[in-house]
Structure 1
Amino acid sequence: MRSFVRTWASNLKDRGIRVNLISPGLTETAALANASNTTRDGLVALILRGRLGQPDEVAIAVLFLASSDSALVNAREFLLFADGGYAQV
């Protein structure tokens, strides 16, 4: 995906279109709704914050990228990892 983002951003720059990638961590979604408590507890144990992310928390990062506040962010995997610290361990 990172390679696609860099290629698309390069190809679309003349049109003023920015391309970025959000990589959310483990998030409370329908995909985890049927997971067993053992599975969920095992996943949560990997996260420094001790809980799964919420969709609205990921949405905040998406809204930032969609806003003019991120005008200089382009061709990146967004490095504000909304993952509760999972990627840092």
Structure 2
Amino acid sequence: MKLQDVSNSVRTVEDEISRIVVNAAALEAASQIDDLSELRARYQTADKDIPKLAGRAAELSIEGLLLQLGRPEETTPERLLLDAP
């Protein structure tokens, strides 16, 4: 490649660069789209996790614990507490 060819190529690229118009609205939208993509990923993860966590919370409820103890009919669960020495 000759020096003249390289010089012409550089000039062509510089001309193309000078014609580029920065679209501020597009740049702002790109930033917001990135933010929304991250929020979407968080939402999808939460959508999968919440039912599991709700099920776990139900297991840890007083009613769930009484059921595990075989005492689902117990109306005063504090009676089942043991005194600590």
TM-score class, shorter: under 0.3
Give the number of the structure whose residues are more often strand, by fraction.
Answer: 1
Give the number of the structure whose residues are more often helix, by fraction.
Answer: 2
TM-score (norm 2): 0.23
TM-score (norm 1): 0.22
Higher alpha-carbon Rg: 2
